[in-house]
Amino acid sequence: MNTSRLDAQQVRDAAERRGARLRRVRTHLALVAAAIVVLLDQVVKSVVRATMNMGEAHTVIPRVVSIRRVVNEGIAFGFFPGNTTVVAVLTVLALVAIGVAMARLVGRNTPASVGGGMLLGGAAGNLFDRIVHGGVTDFIDFRWFPAFNVADIGITVGAALLVLGLMMLDDHSEDDAHP
């Protein structure tokens, strides 16, 4: 028996094992990315809340950016202010939708997995603020743009990585084309 040659079934089995291993690694990457964004976001917001009064600002680069403590009671950039319950429900729905999409996309490629994790982590960090503090603590203030926070950066960078990952070919597309 010649063991140096693999039959088609052995090749398919090996490809399936490789795919399962990649999905596990990418799932872990997504969860780690989400955890890092939530942790970093909450630590920085805690420092801002503990050391700055509402509206207090510290200039970082004159006429460009400052650290200014504000509370956003609405969705992104202040839409729907004062409707904390509505915003929290919409955020939970968004988190569920992101989670469902992530379950389908996590095996696609690494940028999609990490991006989805960052997006999930950012949404979770801001949801935590809404539930616990009644609004989201924002502090990065470019004078020409609404103030934002680390979770918002995670959402934005995560969305960009997710789009990039969706534009890329699946890592398994070559395997699928040549069984």
**Local mean pLDDT, 10-residue blocks, the chain (179 residues):** 72 84 90 97 98 96 95 72 73 80 76 91 92 91 92 95 83 45
pTM of structure? 0.81
Residue 152 annotated to the active site: yes
The reported pLDDT for the residue numbered 169 is: 65
In this structure, is residue 2 part of a structural domain?
no
Contacts of 119 (CB under 8 A, 6+ apart): 98, 154, 155, 158, 159, 162
The reported pLDDT for the residue numbered 48 is: 97
In this structure, is residue 31 part of a structural domain?
yes
CA distances from residue 109 to 7, 104, 168 in whole angstroms, order as listed? 28, 11, 8
Catalytic residue among 41, 129, 138, 141: 138
Structural domain boundaries, residue 123: 8-177
User: For the segment 104-150, what is each residue's pLDDT rounded down to a tens digit?
Assistant: 777 778 898 899 999 999 989 998 998 899 889 999 999 888 899 99
Q: Rounded to an integer, what distance in angstroms lies between the CA atom of residue 32 and that of residue 159?
A: 16
In this structure, is residue 1 part of a structural domain?
no
In this structure, is residue 92 part of a structural domain?
yes
Residue 7 annotated to the active site: no
In this structure, is residue 3 part of a structural domain?
no
Catalytic residue among 41, 129, 141, 152: 152
φ, ψ at 83 (rounded to 5°): -110, 60
